[in-house]
Amino acid sequence: MPKSKFVALISQSYQQLSPNGRKIANYLQQNPTDVLNLSVAEIAQITLTSKATVSRFFRQLGYDNLQQVKDQMRQARNAGMPLGTVHKNNDYITQELDRIRQTWDNVKPEDITQLVESITLASRITLIGFRNSYPVAMHFRQQLLQVRGKVRLLPLPGQTLGEEIEDISNDELVIIIAFRRRPKIVEKLIDLIPKKQLVLMADPSAQIYKEKVNQLFICQLGQELPLDSYSAPMSVISVICNQILNSDRYAEQNRIDAISNLFKQLDELE
C-alpha cells in the first residue's frame, strides 16, 4: 500500500518532535487512517497526551488542524489511492449493492440500447484497458466473444499501440475501460480516436471526457474500503452482453452452439 503524504510528513518530522509528539507519531504511523474517524480529544486519550499537544503535533507537520489532514486523505482516496479504512458495521453486501444501484441510477435504458446496437453493427470491437481496468476489459471481451466474432483486446503484452490504433477502421467500435489512477496515455487515445466510434466506461472522475466520446458509462467503485470494487462495471457488462444475446439479430445465429461443439472437439472443458 502506498505511503500517504501524511505518513511521509510524520517520518520527515519525527526527529524534531517532542517526546509526547513522538507518542502521537508512533500511533498514527501504524494507524494513519484513524485520523478520519477520531477527534483531537480522542487521539489525545489514546496516546496519553493532551489536546494541545495533538493540535501542536499537526501544526508541526505543516497542517492548520486535524480537519485539514482528514480532507487531504479523503481527496487521495477519491483519486484512487488505497487507504485502509474501517468498514462501518462490516456490511459489505449493502455497500456492494449501493454501488450497483448508484451506477444503474445514472444509466438510461436507451444508453444500453444504443451501445448494444453499436456493438452488433460494428465490423470489429476493440477493447482497451490498462492496470486494474485491463482485467475488466478482458472479461468484457470474453463475454462478447460468446455473442459475436472479431473482438480484440489491447494492449497486447510487450507491444506498442501505434500499429493497432492505425489499424482502426471507420466502422469499428472502440471501448476504453479507464478507471481511476489511469495512465496518461488514456487521454491521448481519447483525443486520437474519432468521437463517433468511441465509448468510455470509467469512474466519476472521467466525466471530464464526456464531450469527447460518443457514450460515457460511469460506474461507482466506492471509496470506503482500501481497494476499489468492480461489481458495478461487471454488472453493466453483464446486462449489455445479455441484451445482445437476447436481440433479434442474434436469434438468427448459432454462435454459442458452434463454440460448444468446438469445445467438445478440442476437449478443452471438463
How far apart CA 251 and CA 145 sit, in angstroms, is: 15
Decide if 179 contacts 202 (C-beta within 8 A).
yes
| Lookup: cell for 211 | 464531450
Residue indicated by cell numbers 496516546: 47
pLDDT given at position 206 = 80
Q: Cell numbers 442474434 correspond to what residue?
A: 250
Alpha-carbon gap, residue 8 to 6, rounded angstroms? 5
pLDDT in the model for residue 86 = 47
The domains found in the chain, sorted by start residue, are 5-86 (1.10.10.10), 92-266 (3.40.50.10490)
Q: In the beta sheet, which residues pair with residue 217?
A: 201
Buried b (16+ CB within 10 A) or exposed e, 148-180: beebebbeeeeeeeeeebeebeeebbbbbbbbb
Put simply, whether the predicted model's pTM sits higher than 0.75 gets the answer no
Taking only the tens place, the pLDDT of each residue in 160-200 is: 777 778 788 899 999 999 988 888 888 999 999 999 999 99
Among candidate residues 79, 128, 101, the one with its CA nearest the CA of residue 228:
79
HEC profile of the chain: CCCCHHHHHHHHHHHHCCHHHHHHHHHHHHCHHHHHCCCHHHHHHHHCCCHHHHHHHHHHCCCCCHHHHHHHHHHHHHCCCCCCCCCHHHCHHHHHHHHHHHHHHCCCHHHHHHHHHHHHHCCCEEEEECCCHHHHHHHHHHHHCCCCCCEEEECCCCCCCHHHHHCCCCCCEEEEEECCCCCCHHHHHHHHCCHHHEEEEECHHHHHHHHHCCEEEECCCCCCCCCCCCHHHHHHHHHHHHHHHCCHHHHCCCHHHHHHHHHHHHCCCC
Residues of the chain with pLDDT under 50: 1-2, 85-87
Q: Quote the pLDDT of residue 167.
A: 83
Tell me, what's the pLDDT at 217? 93
What is the structure's pLDDT at 3? 53
